[in-house]
Structure 1
């Protein structure tokens, strides 16, 4: 009993918060839930990023749901990457049942069923608000990193952007970029060499192939207009609850490069757009990246460095990023070291590699006299997790094996009818789902090429006319000569006999004198 009382005091002392917080559940000791030993996460430290990890079926998605609900209730907007397609139920109230009531009785808080304001977003042709960005918004540096270009190739991309800026040619979509690449080494080769130096066809060919690879993963749908404005992620409803923006990515798992491209673009846009906040009492926006390994597994070193830099810097903008994955080792160490909140659901030890991964995962948590961390990681049940957070002063809270509270919203997806009804009420769909293909580099270069071809044709015709005139003039001269040669009198006068006779007579006359 003394151990239990000491543990309760240990947890309560470590979770003393003066500001607002979200309650994740109640702490557990020796397999028993300690009622009212609440495990809280202060809003003040939610911009310090976090991790939700655990094996399949251990409750990661429900934890994500609970955090998103808590943030929305506090008026903080959320962006969820829904790769498995099971988060749309946040829009409607969940159902009550005996198991949920029993769980919440152990935790010490009542369960309330409710839905939340939800906006459905998409990168592909699925239903939802279409997210797009222009090539110009990427800029040469970011685009080069996404395409994993060499230094020489990156320099060519910079020249391409400079040419388009100098000539007021918008780079909006992939066909714009492909057209200017071809123009630089074909029709516009002399123009580029005069202004920017020689551009290698081998380098532009390599860039073009990498752009085609990205295009095949669906980037042609992502690049273009109307560009999504990140401020639209910050909306709250009429009741002051933050919108939960759910990005449906169920068809993206076999296109990791597009996912990485979108994520880096989004983070870069947020970082460049949002004002500096410093240390505030609550975040402005929280992102949850489900199946986070999809970002890191296919990312080049340059892209990883860019992601790591943004993760380190973006918290000053009031933005928190939470990675959801099966194992903490899926996240690069440089990123993992930046994470303040860690929610670790059960891990399974089937192989020697699994056991090694569990030992490494255990080392990510504070030492405690109440748990054998490596052992408890394999014995947690569904809906239970090890939680380590930061208090309002940035110090780690006591490590707690936690009975997680149940979501208030539906723990299942919306039906087709419910989804259609939700989409019909969206204000953003009307704003972003119209495809615009305005005058840009592709059209401008085509006109320029057509004009140059017309001028070349004109010069060619002019030259042909001049050649024809010369030929006709030469022909007239030749004809005149021939006509003269055919004249009988001329024939007699120019005949050899006549000339000899005349000159012969003259010669004789000269001799007599």
Structure 2
């Protein structure tokens, strides 16, 4: 067990969270400008420093800043990453502003005992890899093209992985499918299950062909043509083909497979910070890519032995759209499952949001550690306090404390405790410059080693660093949108 330093109280007492407490999961909430991103990045850095790998789901692009750790704390290191608009507003040249940022970071890290030597040691022990599904800017992920059978005989695991893949695929195609009633979902799932049972790994073109000519005669008690008429199967195949034929589809079936082992550790055993950033995607494609990664992660998790300490941290930023209170996007099922089952496998899940009204508290109630920053409205505060009623804290005291929080100030309720503690967050090692563009991600990853799946005998990792004040996120460059390709006349 290790203690992960989060910050300090007003009387200069360290505030930490134990790794075995994080196995009971965590929830971070705070409005824009509260310091929520800095707190999350600080927690992730502490895990990595303790040798714990992290898998990060990054829909806004803020977590890519973990690739911006500058060991010498010099202006020239910072200059390529500063915001020119901030430099102009400061009345400084880019070089002058970069020097000021370097000095700011040096001054901010000093009270935490972090200087050039500690930053260099951190960079040496940690590998950062930025994965960009649907784009070649970072490490591309083959999220749709590979249908390799999971290495398990557990039928529940197999069924969950098939369900995750098919639900995400149909979402891309524009079909909101119920696994129990949708003919498309049932047929595609049975085709994949039959192939895997026969020891066959198939691909999307093969799946499309078998939709037209299914390998089974019956589904349930019905003949296949009665259950799903040939003309309707042909229409379904045409929708799948529209995605395959889309100009941007190649970027979704090239690159690394979703190999969780390779994403979490380098071949020499160093912890990896695996950042799956989806800021460049449409909302629908973010859902699909995230669901596929989470489904693979669940399968990987269930192959692990049980442990009471933290084996890996899964961190999801801005989770509201992926875990809504009423709707059921494809991401919701794997998140709910992880919040209920991951503890037994030593997997800690931390969910972060600025919209406490828009998350499902049935899942959040499973979180043992809550970290609460400034909130925008009384409605947000009321919804959060309602969600905390099961934690045993003094709701009135928490309400008063939230109202008095400043920037980078948080309340923490630790697992198994009925009281809260107020603290200020520590200074992050990473340069918090805000979301990176695809060109910036490409520049970071170009200098990094390459991450190769564990089934291959090479290394492909990414070794960047992080931190700074959080500017408004630049508008991300658009990526090919798969959902749009399937819509016309489908």
TM-score normalised over the length of structure 2: 0.67
Confirm or deny that 1:401 pairs with 2:404. Answer: no
| Cα distance change of structure 1 residues 231 and 98 upon mapping to structure 2, 3 Å threshold | closer
Which of 209, 212, 223 aligns to 1:197? It is: 223
1:309 corresponds to: 337
Report the CA distance between 1:231 and its aligned residue: 0.7
More helix by share: 1
Greater Cα radius of gyration, structure 1 or 2: 1
Confirm or deny that 1:24 pairs with 2:54. Answer: no
In 2, Cα distance between the equivalents of 1:400 and 1:124? 42
1:491 corresponds to: none
Report the CA distance between 1:294 and its aligned residue: 2.6
1:325 corresponds to: 353
Is the contact made by 1:234 and 1:284 (CA closer than 8 Å) also made in structure 2? no
Which of 119, 128, 132 aligns to 2:129? It is: 119
In 1, Cα distance between the equivalents of 2:405 and 2:348? 27
Report the CA distance between 1:229 and its aligned residue: 1.7
Q: How does 1:283-362 map to 2 (within 5 A)?
A: 283-297=310-324, 300=328, 304-349=332-377, 353-354=379-380, 356-360=382-386
| Cα distance change of structure 1 residues 367 and 170 upon mapping to structure 2, 3 Å threshold | closer
In 1, Cα distance between the equivalents of 2:57 and 2:34? 19
Q: How does 1:148-159 map to 2 (within 5 A)?
A: 148-149=177-178, 150-151=180-181, 153=183, 154-159=185-190
Confirm or deny that 1:388 pairs with 2:413. Answer: yes
2:259 corresponds to: 229
In 2, Cα distance between the equivalents of 1:169 and 1:98? 56
Deviations, residues 171-223 of structure 1 (Å, cap 9, x unaligned):
222x3222211233xxx8xx846998333227636855875798789776445
In 1, Cα distance between the equivalents of 2:371 and 2:165? 34
SS at match of 1:129: coil
Confirm or deny that 1:426 pairs with 2:449. Answer: yes
| Cα distance change of structure 1 residues 75 and 219 upon mapping to structure 2, 3 Å threshold | farther
In 1, Cα distance between the equivalents of 2:256 and 2:102? 42
Q: How does 1:124-273 map to 2 (within 5 A)?
A: 124-133=134-143, 134-137=146-149, 140-146=162-168, 147=170, 148-149=177-178, 150-151=180-181, 153=183, 154-161=185-192, 164=195, 170-173=201-204, 175-184=205-214, 192=217, 197-199=223-225, 200-201=228-229, 204=233, 208=237, 221-222=251-252, 227-235=257-265, 242-254=271-283, 255-273=285-303
In 2, Cα distance between the equivalents of 1:342 and 1:176? 46
State how many pairs are aligned: 390
The more displaced of 334-343 and 372-381 is: 372-381
Is the contact made by 1:26 and 1:404 (CA closer than 8 Å) also made in structure 2? yes
Is the contact made by 1:279 and 1:316 (CA closer than 8 Å) also made in structure 2? yes
Is the contact made by 2:308 and 2:345 (CA closer than 8 Å) also made in structure 1? no
Which of 110, 113, 125 aligns to 2:113? It is: 110
Which of 34, 45, 56 aligns to 1:58? It is: 34
Deviations, residues 120-144 of structure 1 (Å, cap 9, x unaligned):
2121114222222523547543345
In 2, Cα distance between the equivalents of 1:379 and 1:278? 39
| Cα distance change of structure 1 residues 378 and 126 upon mapping to structure 2, 3 Å threshold | farther
SS at match of 1:309: helix
| Cα distance change of structure 1 residues 218 and 143 upon mapping to structure 2, 3 Å threshold | farther
Gapped runs of 5+ residues in structure 2? 74-100, 150-157, 171-176, 461-490
Is the contact made by 2:131 and 2:277 (CA closer than 8 Å) also made in structure 1? yes
SS at match of 1:287: strand
Deviations, residues 419-468 of structure 1 (Å, cap 9, x unaligned):
5354343231697999xxxxxxxxxxxxxxxxxxxxxxxxxxxxxxxxxx
Is the contact made by 1:235 and 1:243 (CA closer than 8 Å) also made in structure 2? yes
Is the contact made by 2:132 and 2:277 (CA closer than 8 Å) also made in structure 1? yes
Report the CA distance between 1:89 and its aligned residue: 3.1
RMSD over aligned CA atoms reads: 4.0
Gapped runs of 5+ residues in structure 1? 1-18, 28-32, 435-513
Deviations, residues 292-329 of structure 1 (Å, cap 9, x unaligned):
12322496388634532233112222211111111334
- Structure with greater contact order relative to length (CA < 8 Å, sep ≥ 6): 2
Which of 9, 12, 20 aligns to 1:44? It is: 20
Is the contact made by 1:54 and 1:344 (CA closer than 8 Å) also made in structure 2? yes
Deviations, residues 10-63 of structure 1 (Å, cap 9, x unaligned):
xxxxxxxxx420111122xxxxx111x221101122222111111111111101
In 1, Cα distance between the equivalents of 2:440 and 2:328? 41
| Cα distance change of structure 1 residues 70 and 178 upon mapping to structure 2, 3 Å threshold | same
Deviations, residues 354-380 of structure 1 (Å, cap 9, x unaligned):
4532542564654359x8311322331
In 2, Cα distance between the equivalents of 1:140 and 1:327? 31
Deviations, residues 322-349 of structure 1 (Å, cap 9, x unaligned):
1111133433222112112211111012
